[in-house]
Amino acid sequence: MELIRKNDYLWEIPKTGRMNVPGRIYSSSSMIDSVSKEEACKQVANVAELPGIVSASLAMPDIHWGYGFPIGGVAAFDWKEGVVSPGGVGYDINCGVRLATSSLHVDDVQSRLEDLADALYHGTPSGVGSTGSIKLSKKEVKKVLGQGSQWAASNGFGEDLDIRRTEDQGCMENADPEAVSERALERGTQQLGTLGSGNHFLELGVVEEIFDLDTAAKFSLFPGQITMMIHSGSRGLGYQICDDFLADLTRHARKSGYPLPDRQLAYAMIQSVQGQRYLSAMACAANYAWANRQIMMHRAESLIMKTLGISPNTLSMQLLYDVCHNIAKKEEHMVENRKTWLCVHRKGATRSFPPGHPSLPEEYRTTGQPILIPGDMGTASYILAGTEKAMTETFGSTCHGAGRVLSRNAAKKASRGRAIQNELAGKGIIVRWTGRSTLAEEMPEAYKDITDVVAVVHGAGISRKVAKLRPLVVIKG
């Protein structure tokens, strides 16, 4: 597929054939050759064929093949004349990341990291199909779907600050539990407060480097600081909602005679009954995910205090921010010099709203939105801030992580004969895991270099570096 270099960090797929807009991929000279050979580039072009798409079909530097849309894909559709596609959100609706800061310095906990790893592993249900101690009726699950993080906080799992520092205050308002199937509700009754499997994790890290002193101070970050990052999503409930609507919208597209560049890109017009019903169900899964991460954070905080024998004041753990990766949202953006309501799909991409944006909490109005970019379990993670350039180029979006370069099967083959946990221990990283093949599938070489990925979005100006974190303790499913 032809890629035309536009500048140091941007390549374009020209508008050809049935494409309504060009494709644009953010990458670097060192990464673009491998990107150009991936099926994901074809997926960028396929998305450009969907009705109502505006400006361009976009991909971030962590691009790799996904279901329908590529992972790292961003596309915005006119709210009145465009479409919504479950393939542009993904199965793990509102898979996302939250980061909490503390008052602890790495020297305070270095000798207790093994104890903390054991406590967090045993106290955080993880793995495929894992269930937690919170057992809900379907009626109560519907309350979670309608209230999100606010349900968790009102039931003793957090406080008002947590709500304020969560994207959308942890609750999408258009959620309608009646749009969710009985099977999805059933899967949601026992999985609140659970981590899941695959690339999901709970991680204790240390602030290793600061790039922007002023912004870091406003984010309450300091060198040597202990942080906690949680990466998880909507669990079986979200998966079931996606599965239900993919089947429904595939039938709808076939019956309606919609042209599909890829059957995985089944869609409905946003203003149709089917489109609105999917958005309402998707919002329910997003709210479940926010409640899930909120509960895990609150419980992990208690586990840390109990293990170290310290008080809440000594730990002083506070949520920095919570961002979602897989979502479709109604947002207002400038299109051809006029404000336009759009449905912005971000699949494996993170919001990057600039200073002054009204959706941000007051304390971040001067800095821009905190952006959390996790790397693989053996390298680093980054904290960035949103920029005005992201609003003009990417609908306020940036990357969401490192991005895979090896499939899970390929990673397992490449790791044969190796003891990944020992390799990580040699780097000072303590890991606990549940699944038999988890460490092999998630080994560091399975991912792009997170530093290279972040360098692209920083160099392109669609987000800016604030701080770098190094992992100390990693809990995997």
- Reported as a single tens digit per residue, the pLDDT across 88-107 is 999 999 999 999 999 999 99
Cβ-based neighbours of 200, under 8 Å, separated by 6 or more: 95, 126, 231, 232, 233, 476, 477
Average pLDDT rounded to a whole number, residues 459-474: 98
Record the pTM.
0.97
**DSSP single-letter state for residue 105:** E
Tokens of 48: 């450009």
- Give the integer Cα–Cα distance in Å for 37 and 42: 10
Is the pLDDT score of 37 beyond 90? no
Q: Is 64 a catalytic residue?
A: no
pLDDT at 472: 98
- Give the integer Cα–Cα distance in Å for 476 and 121: 8
Closest to 353 (Cα-Cα) out of 382, 316, 315, 392? 392
Q: Report whether 170 contacts 287 (CB < 8 A).
A: yes
User: b/e per residue, 36-47, with b = 16+ CB within 10 A?
Assistant: bebebbbbbbbb
Look at 140 and 127; give whichever has higher pLDDT.
Answer: 140
Average pLDDT rounded to a whole number, residues 427-451: 93
Is the pLDDT score of 127 beyond 90? no
- Name the amino acid, one letter, at 382: Y
- The mean of the pLDDT values for the chain is 96
Tokens of 103: 């008052």
Tokens of 40: 């994901």
- Give the integer Cα–Cα distance in Å for 311 and 309: 7
pLDDT at 201: 96
Q: What is the CATH class of 4-476?
A: alpha beta
Closest to 397 (Cα-Cα) out of 349, 359, 358, 364? 349
Which position among 64, 231, 325, 400 bears the catalytic label? 400
Instruction: Please tell me the least confidently modeled range out of 341-355, 436-450, 460-474.
Output: 436-450
Average pLDDT rounded to a whole number, residues 28-36: 92
